[in-house]
A and B are shown apart, each in its own frame.
Chain A
Amino acid sequence: AQSVAQPEDQVNVAEGNPLTVKCTYSVSGNPYLFWYVQYPNRGLQFLLKYITGDNLVKGSYGFEAEFNKSQTSFHLKKPSALVSDSALYFCAVSSASGGSYIPTFGRGTSLIVHP
């Protein structure tokens, strides 16, 4: 079965500093990888995805993520954090072949950006 691990329940960063939210995955075959963000009392919103090709994926609001096949990781990054980036971030994986096309989500990481 496919799975996602987000090892940090919470990440704290000062505004203007770079941020990283970690994600590792397990899936049969090649992965499709996603990051979604959830604000309080809202549904999940798509940030970016990796399908194939360039390992560095750029998404909305200045976020990017790097696919590392050997480490089975897809960490979310942003060079300069904003207070408004504070939210819950979910990594998700689905299978390109041999597994489920239904996205499996991680537990989420709460990002807190301090002014």
Chain B
Amino acid sequence: AAGVIQSPRHLIKEKRETATLKCYPIPRHDTVYWYQQGPGQDPQFLISFYEKMQSDKGSIPDRFSAQQFSDYHSELNMSSLELGDSALYFCASSLGGSGANVLTFGAGSRLTVL
């Protein structure tokens, strides 16, 4: 079965550079979530989209932005990167925006900022 696809899997950037992460949700899933997981930390919710519209916002820095496109894939754009942005970034998708929904996660994109 198709899963949530994230790219790139690994990314190395310098401070103050920009980075873009991509996420392709499971077909027919209408909700996409982005989480950030620092080393040894719990996944922190960043932002979500339902039917291509931003639906909820968590602890996403102003330097970050995200959008969901007409084909339902989503991109997380990160600018003016800081050392503290080094983390594993997960995308997840679900069918519907209910709290009862199970999230299906991608394998994550590991960002290292030097």
Contact = CB atoms under 8 A, between A and B. Distances in A.
Given A43-B90, A45-B105, A95 B45 contact: no
Interface in A64-115: 90, 94-96, 100-108
Contacts of A102: 33, 45, 48, 56, 58, 99
A103 to B, nearest CB: 6
Given A44-B90, A100-B56, A107 B41 contact: yes
Given A94-B100, A105-B43, 7 more contacts: A43-B4, A43-B92, A43-B106, A90-B43, A100-B56, A102-B45, A106-B42
Chain B interface SS verdict (over half) = loop
Nearest to B9: A41
Contacts of A34: 102
Interface of A: 4, 32, 34, 36, 41-46, 49, 51, 90, 94-96, 100-108
B105 A44 contact: yes
Interface of B: 4, 33, 35, 40-43, 45, 48, 56, 58, 90, 92, 97-100, 102-108
Contacts of A100: 56, 99
Contact of B103 (A4, A46, A51, A95): A46
A51 B34 CA distance: 23
A105 B42 contact: yes
A43 B108 contact: yes
Nearest to A29: B99
Contacts of B105: 36, 43-45
Contacts of B99: 32, 94-96, 100-103
Nearest to B4: A43
Given A100-B56, A101-B98, A44 B33 contact: no
A87 to B, nearest CB: 14
A8 B39 CA distance: 17
Contacts of B4: 43
Contact of B100 (A96, A104, A106): A96
A103 B48 CA distance: 11
